[in-house]
Amino acid sequence: MRVKKKKKYAILSDAVGNRTRQL
């Protein structure tokens, strides 16, 4: 469960990073 949550956060962080890069 803990790993799953961490993975979810990593994906979210990646999405935010991609968005900032695009802007």
**CA separation (Å) from 18 to 1, 2, 5, 12, 22?**
26, 24, 20, 10, 6
Distance (Å, rounded) from C-alpha 20 to C-alpha 4? 24
pLDDT number for residue 8: 82
For the chain, the farthest-separated pair of C-alpha atoms sits apart, in whole angstroms, at 33
Q: What is the pLDDT of residues 1-23, one digit of tens each?
A: 577 778 888 888 888 877 877 66
Residue 14: closest CA among 3, 22, 2: 22
E strand or H helix that includes residue 6: helix 2-22
pLDDT number for residue 23: 61
pLDDT number for residue 4: 76
pLDDT number for residue 22: 65
